[in-house]
Amino acid sequence: MNHLSSETFKENARAALADVQLRGALKNATSLFGERRKEAAASLPNWEDLRTHARAIKDEVLLHLDRYLEEFVRNAESRGAAVHWARDAAEANSIVCGLATERNAHIVVKSKSMTTEETHLNDALEAAGMQVVETDLGEYIIQLANEPPSHIIAPAIHKTRQQIGELFTAELGMPPTDNVDQMTSTARAKLRDRFAAADVGISGVNFAIAETGTIVIVENEGNIRLTTSLPRTHIAVMGIEKVIPRFADLDVFLKLLPRSGTGQRLTTYQSFITGTKRASSDEGPEEMHIVLLDNGRSRMLAHPVTRQSLACIRCGACLNACPVYQQVGGHAYGSVYPGPIGAVITPQLMGIQKAAQLPYASSLCGACREVCPVKIDIPRLLLHLRGEISPRKGSWAERLAFKMWARVMTSPSLYKLSSVAGRILQRVMPISRAWTNGRDLRPIESKSFHDLWSNE
Amino acid sequence: MSNSARESILGSIRTHLAASPAPDVEEHQAPLKIPVSKSDPIKQFKESVESVSGHCTITTDAADVLKQILTDLKAERIAHSDNPPNAHDIFGYDVGISTAQAAIAETGTLVLDSACERHRLVSLVPPVHIAIINASSIVETLSDALTLLQKKEISPAITFITGPSRTADIELTLAIGVHGPQELYVIVDGSK
Amino acid sequence: MKVSLFVTCLVDQMWTSIGVSSVAVLRRVGCEVEFDKRQTCCAQPAFNTGYLDEARLVARRFISIFEESKADAIVSPSGSCTAMVHHYPQLFADDSKWLPRAHAIAAKTHELSSFLVRVLKKEDVGASWNGRLTWHDACHGLRDLNIKSEPRRLIRNVRGAEFVELDHADSCCGFGGTFSVKYPEISVAILDQKIDAIERADVQAVVSGDASCLMQIGGRLSRKGSKVRVMHLAELLNESSQQ
Asked if residue A430 has pLDDT above 90, the reply is: no
Q: Residue ranges of chain C with pLDDT lower than 50?
A: 243
pLDDT, tens digit, 9 for 90 and up, residues B147-170 = 999 999 999 999 999 999 999 999
- What is the Cα–Cα distance from C145 to C67, expressed in whole angstroms? 21
The answer to whether A452 contacts C38, with C-beta atoms less than 8 Å apart, is: no
Give me the residue spans of the domains in chain B: 40-189
CA atoms within a 13 Å half-sphere pointing along the CA-CB vector of A37: 23
- What is the Cα–Cα distance from A95 to A99, expressed in whole angstroms? 6
Nearest to C50 among A324, A387, A422 (CB): A387
pLDDT, mean of residues A106-130:
96
- Quick one: pLDDT at residue B27? 57
- What is the Cα–Cα distance from C182 to A395, expressed in whole angstroms? 12
DSSP-derived secondary structure for A99-111: HHHHTT--EEEE-
Residue B85 contacts A where some CB pair is shorter than 8 Å:
no
- Quick one: pLDDT at residue A419? 81
SS3 at position B80 = strand
Residue A145 contacts B where some CB pair is shorter than 8 Å:
no
- Quick one: pLDDT at residue B87? 87
- What is the Cα–Cα distance from A248 to A253, expressed in whole angstroms? 10
DSSP-assigned letter for residue A301: G
Asked if residue A429 has pLDDT above 70, the reply is: no
Nearest residue to C56 (alpha-carbon basis) of A114, A402, A33: A402
Residue A412 contacts C where some CB pair is shorter than 8 Å:
yes
User: Confidence class of residue A1 from pLDDT cuts 50, 70 and 90?
Assistant: low
- Quick one: pLDDT at residue A454? 78
The packing angle between helices A161-172 and A137-145, to 10°, is 70
Per mean pLDDT, which range of A292-301, A386-395, B122-131, C106-115 is the poorest?
A386-395
User: Confidence class of residue B1 from pLDDT cuts 50, 70 and 90?
Assistant: very low
Nearest residue to A159 (alpha-carbon basis) of A321, A7, A26, A332: A26
pLDDT, tens digit, 9 for 90 and up, residues B171-187 = 989 999 999 999 999 99
Residue A303 contacts C where some CB pair is shorter than 8 Å:
no
CA distance A199 to chain B (A): 12
Which of A328, A362, A363 to mutate: most C Cβ within 10 Å?
Answer: A363
What is the fold of C125-237?
Rossmann fold (3.40.50)
CA distance A383 to chain C (A): 6
User: Confidence class of residue B2 from pLDDT cuts 50, 70 and 90?
Assistant: low
The answer to whether B178 contacts A184, with C-beta atoms less than 8 Å apart, is: yes
The answer to whether A269 contacts B6, with C-beta atoms less than 8 Å apart, is: no
Asked if residue A304 has pLDDT above 60, the reply is: yes
Dihedral angle, C-alpha A380, A382, A386, A389, nearest 10 °: 130
Residue A65 contacts B where some CB pair is shorter than 8 Å:
yes
Which of C32, C49, C65 to mutate: most A Cβ within 10 Å?
Answer: C49
Name the CA radius of gyration of chain A, rounded. Answer: 25
Q: How far from C113 is each of C142, C153, C232, CA to CA, in Å?
A: 12, 9, 11
- Quick one: pLDDT at residue B37? 66
User: Confidence class of residue B35 from pLDDT cuts 50, 70 and 90?
Assistant: low
ipTM of predicted complex: 0.96
CATH number for the segment(s) A39-298: 3.40.50.10420
Which of B7, B171, B174, B182 to mutate: most A Cβ within 10 Å?
Answer: B171
Burial A298-314 (b: 16+ CB within 10 A, else e): bbbbbbbbbbbbbbbbb
Give me the residue spans of the domains in chain C: 2-118, 125-237
**Sheet containing strand C128-136, strands side by side:** C159-164, C128-136, C205-208, C229-232
Residue A24 contacts C where some CB pair is shorter than 8 Å:
no
- More reliable by pLDDT, A454 or A298: A298
Nearest to A251 among B25, B120, B142 (CB): B142
Give me the residue spans of the domains in chain A: 39-298, 396-454
- What is the Cα–Cα distance from A48 to A70, expressed in whole angstroms? 31
Per mean pLDDT, which range of A198-207, B19-28, C38-47, C150-159 is the poorest?
B19-28
Residue B6 contacts A where some CB pair is shorter than 8 Å:
yes
Element (H, E) at B186: strand B183-189
Element (H, E) at C111: strand C109-111
Neighbouring CB atoms inside 10 A of A295's CB total 21
User: Max Cα separation, chain B?
Assistant: 68
Is CATH 3.40.50.10420 correct for B40-189?
yes
pLDDT, tens digit, 9 for 90 and up, residues A356-389 = 999 999 999 999 999 999 999 999 999 999 999 9
The pTM score is 0.95
Nearest residue to C186 (alpha-carbon basis) of B185, B75, A15: A15
The packing angle between helices B2-18 and A65-78, to 10°, is 150
Is residue C160 within 8 A of residue C130, CB to CB? The reply is: yes
Distance of CA C57 to the CA centre of its chain: 23
Burial class (CB in 10 A: 0-12, 13-18, 19+), A424: exposed
pLDDT, tens digit, 9 for 90 and up, residues B54-87 = 999 999 999 999 999 999 999 999 999 999 998 8
CA distance B183 to chain A (A): 12
Chain B's closest residue to A183, CA to CA, is: B170
